[in-house]
Every structure is written in structure tokens, then in C-alpha cells.
Structure 1
Amino acid sequence: MRPLSFNQATAKYWPLVEVVKGCEGAGVRHVGLWREPVEEYGLARSAALVRDAGLTVTSLCRGGFFGADDWFDNNRRALDECAELGAPALVLVCGGLFGRTLADARGRVAAGLAALAPYALDVGVTLAVEPMHPMFTADRSVVASLSGALDLCEPYPAEAVGITLDTYHVWWDEQVLPLIGANGDRIACFQLADWVVPLPQDVLVGRGLPGSGHVDFTPLVEAVLATGYDRPIEVEVFNQDLWNRPGEEILKDTIAAYESVMT
């Protein structure tokens, strides 16, 4: 069984120090980090905190939002932060319409990757485009399918531009298994979250721990592992009820949920 990486967004209100301490105590050796808590604690301090606990960082979230005015400088900083933390992948939430047509917004994503790919290679971090469920197209990501994300990757070496594959966003796609099988080298980060119903009014926080909803994890996990994917697998869940619980409980239940769908 591939090792678990605990993405700190699953326990949104748990301070970074406690996340690291909790993972260390529970035997979880890998974490996915977010830029805001890292910035709050300090980049160098965060890197030292994780390193001294014997943990590794599997991803940093987030870059992208290519429709914003400061997209270039912001993403360059994010790549530098990944390098400092030892994170191999920068998760890209590519951004919504920003008042543009869908075609223009997608064109900005392609142009952004072209501008950033050489620097990503220089610092040894993969720009990991995350295809998101189509319901997020207007406000969060105009990259709304796995095939669309892979098309964006195609001009670049896999070391520079790959994908973040999140089960929550792709489980419904009839082509997901063959696309995974044909593009395993592009998977820079693999994340698990479940689709639960009914969705809350704020669909952003409508995810569930693996095994609590409707995603069939077995074929997805088997397809990814069959490509030779050898990195830890993250669990990243946005769920307000989950966030309201103590961090230690969230981590314990995350470990149990992960094991339930991986065995």
C-alpha cells in the first residue's frame, strides 16, 4: 500500500505546528501543505519544522489563477517556496473566467504555463495542473476535464508540467481510466476525496473522506499504481463539519478512511 500524505486542508483550522506534530506521532511521514499557513509560520521555519520531524512535503497548494494581475510573480514565488520546502509539485488551480470568455481564459492558462515552464525546470518543481469538476469552471478553474489538462501539458516535459489528479474532480469521467493509463508520467500528485450528496449550498466544502460517498476508488487507485506511480497519495477533503472537529480526530479518521479504500 502506498503511504498516506495528509493534506493540511483536511484539517483547515489545525495550526501547522500541530499538523506536523500530529502526523509525526501517528506515523504519517508525508504532508501536503498550503501556502497561507506556511507564510504565516514563515517559509524557512516551515521547511525546518517538517524536516526536523522527519516528514516530507508531497505538494504545495496553490499556484495558478492565471487571470489575476499578479499571476506571474505569484507563481514564481510559489515555485521558489516549493523548492525551499522540498515539495516536488506545485498544485495549480488555474482560475475561472475573470470576466473573459471561456476561450480567452483557457488561452491565458496555456500562456501562463509557457511562461513558467522553464523556471519550473530550473528549480526542479513540477507545475501540476489540477482539472476540476465542471461546476467550478466560472470561478475556480477553466480546466474542467482530465483530457483538457493533459492537452495543456503536452508541449512540455513531464518534469516541468504535469497534473494533480483528484478523485473528487475526475471520478465521473468515462475516459478517466484510459487517460490515466496512457499518461502516468504526467501524474505529479494523486489526491483522494469522495463525492457526497446532497451537496451543501457552498459546493466547495462538499467533499467527504474516502469511502463515505459515491466514488469507486478501487479502479482509480489501481489505474494510477499500474502506471508506476511511486509517490505518497494525499487525502485532501474540504468539509466544514470535518473542519469543526479536533485535528487529532480528523487525522485519525483520515488514516482509517485511507486504509479502508486502499485495502
Structure 2
Amino acid sequence: MSGVVNVNRISLNQITTENWSLREAIDGCVRNEIPTISVWRHKISEVGLKESKKMIKESGLGVSSVCRGGMFPALTASERVQRIDDNKRAIEEAAELGTDVLVLVCGAAPDKNLPESRKWVQEGIETLIPFAEQHKVKLGIEPLHPMYAADRSVITTLGEANALQNSLASSQVGVIVDVFHVWWDPFLYQEIENARGNILGFHVSDWKVPLPDIFKGRSMMGDGVIEIPRIRQAVEENDYHGPIEVEIINQDIWDMPGDETLKLMKKSFVEHV
């Protein structure tokens, strides 16, 4: 297996150019020969699903995923039903835009009860499976770094995500491997092997030291400590050969001219992924 990544696998996760509209991001990808985009739902809502679909189709871009579904835990049953309804809309959006992957950020514990919230996450995904299957969209459980357990996800390791996927026992459910969230895990490579055949996405960025910010702390590949090529080769050895999304949440990068970001992104992708 070659250790060199094919630049044609690059996908712009739209959050990397947060200051751009969907139209601007699509045009930027076309100008910079980036073949694939991952679309965020708040960008879809700005122009509507119909117009989003039209723009993407006319551009010729592939769609690697839609971000995001999830956020299942809530204090009341009615709130949890509302979360399910919103996830169904997200599944419909993914299907309309031509991707078969909806990324799930599972949600935090609203009442400090982590076990209960993890149960709600499982119940929420289980409820969605028939609807996802009907729309031919797979649900990608993305474990987030433990520092996000308080406000974004009670699923914090790839091992947890794998266990959840196994307990659901559905081919509609898989996992997302994002290097920013999992690089530190002493069981990472064993868990990537355990996820064989169920990896639905691979996301790259870097962990700069010191971390500049908890939420907006991701850096461009090569600017931090993550052994990205080793993780990439591990997911490839376990049957993931799809698009590689560059997902960078960083105010300084957001404030750069978008085309400059995409040029730097491609250069860093070739050299450090």
C-alpha cells in the first residue's frame, strides 16, 4: 500500500470556510479543483434545500456527508421527539443532496446523568434506523474528544462508538473517525480495526500545542502533534477508501480569504495526510 495520499480524495468540510456561504464554498471548490464537499445544515437553511441541491448538482461536486444530526438527549420526552423529527429532516436533506452519510454529534447530558443520556442516544439512533434505511442514508456516530462531553457529546471514544454500533446491529449505522477527537486514545488502532467495514468517514485537522481554544482550537494539518498519516493508513487497512474531509474550526483560518484557505488546505493535505 502506498503511503502517499491521493489529493483527489480531499473534501472541504464546509465549517473550514465558515465565513463563506454555500454558494461561495461551492464556487471555491470548483476554482481550486476540490472535488467533494461536506455540507453543514445551517448553510443549507440559508438558501433552502431545493436551491442547495440545484447549486451542488450544477457544480458537479460530490457530497461526502451532511453535518450534522444527533443531539438526542433532552430532559423531556417531547423534546426528545422533537430531536428525532429534526434528525429525520437531516436524513431527508442528506438524501436530497446525494450523500449517503449523515454525521451524528450525539449530544450532551442535560441533567449531568451521563448513563441516562447515553441510553437516550442509543434509543434515538435506534428510532431513526428504519427512516434512514428508507432514504438510503447511513448514520455515522462521531465520537468527540472528552473535553466536549459537557456540551456536545457523551460518546467520547471510538470504543464507545463501536460498542454502540454493535449493540444497534444495523448496517445503516457506522462510525466517523476524526483525528482531532481520537488521536490521543491508547486503544485507537485496535478500535479502528474493530470498526472494520463500518467506517463511514475520515476527518483531518491537527492539534496545536498549546491548544488555542476549546471550540475553535483545530489547526491546519502539519501544525500540531497528530500522527495523521498513520491514522489514515489504519483506516485504509480497515476498508475505508472514501473522501477525506478537512474539518477545521479555527477563527484565524475562518478570517483568511477563502481561496487562500483552500490552497493552504490542499498543500497541507498532500504533505501531512
- TM-score normalized by the length of structure 1: 0.96
1:261 aligned to 2:272?
yes
User: In structure 2, what is the equivalent of residue 34 of structure 1?
Assistant: 40
- Separation of aligned partners in 2, 1:39 and 1:255: 28
For each residue in 1:68-110, what CA deviation from the matched residue of structure 2 results, as whole angstroms up to 9, or x when unmatched? 4121100000000000001211111111111240110111001
Aligned-pair CA distance for 1:186: 1.2
Q: Contact between 2:143 and 2:176, CA under 8 Å: does it hold in 1?
A: yes
Alignment of 1:173 with 2:185, yes or no, is: yes
8 A Cα contact 2:199 2:239, kept in partner: no
Equivalent in 53, 57, 69 of residue 59 of structure 2: 53
Provide the residue aligned with 2:230 in structure 1: 219
Kept in 2, the 8 Å contact 1:125–1:159? The answer is no
2:121 is matched with which residue? 109
TM-score by length of 2: 0.93
Alignment of 1:141-152 (within 5 A): 141-152=153-164
**How does 1:95-174 map onto structure 2 within 5 Å?**
95-156=107-168, 159-174=171-186
Q: What SS does structure 1 have at the residue aligned with 2:63?
A: strand
1:243 pairs with one of 250, 254, 268: 254
2:102 to 64, 69, 90: 90
| Unmatched segments (≥5 aa) in structure 2 | none
1:204 aligns with 2:215: yes
Unaligned runs of 5+ in 1: none
Q: Which amino acid in the other structure matches residue 58 of structure 2? A: D
Deviation at 1:145, TM superposition (A): 0.6
Query: Deviation string for 1:202-249 (max 9, x for gaps)?
Result: 401001011110101121011011122121110000001111111111
The DSSP-based 3-state class of the residue aligned with 2:267 is helix
Tell me the equivalent position of 2:15.
Answer: 9
Q: Is this contact kept in 2: 1:89–1:188, CA < 8 A?
A: yes
Residue equivalent to 1:188? 200
Shift of 1:117: 1.0
Compared CA separation, residues 253 and 158, structure 1 to 2 (3 A): farther
- Is the deviation greater in 191-200 or in 125-134? 191-200
Q: Distance in 1 between matches of 2:259 and 2:57?
A: 21
SS at match of 1:128: strand
Deviation of the 1:147 alpha carbon = 0.4
C-alpha distance in 2 between matches for 1:254 and 1:72: 35
Equivalent residues, number = 261
Counterpart amino acid of residue 262 in structure 2 = L
Measured in 1, the distance between the counterparts of 2:146 and 2:115 equals 15
Q: Secondary structure at the match of 1:92?
A: strand
One-letter code of the match for 1:124?
K
Change (3 A) 1:26 1:171: same
**3-state SS in 2 of match to 1:155:** helix
The CA deviation at 1:182 is: 2.8
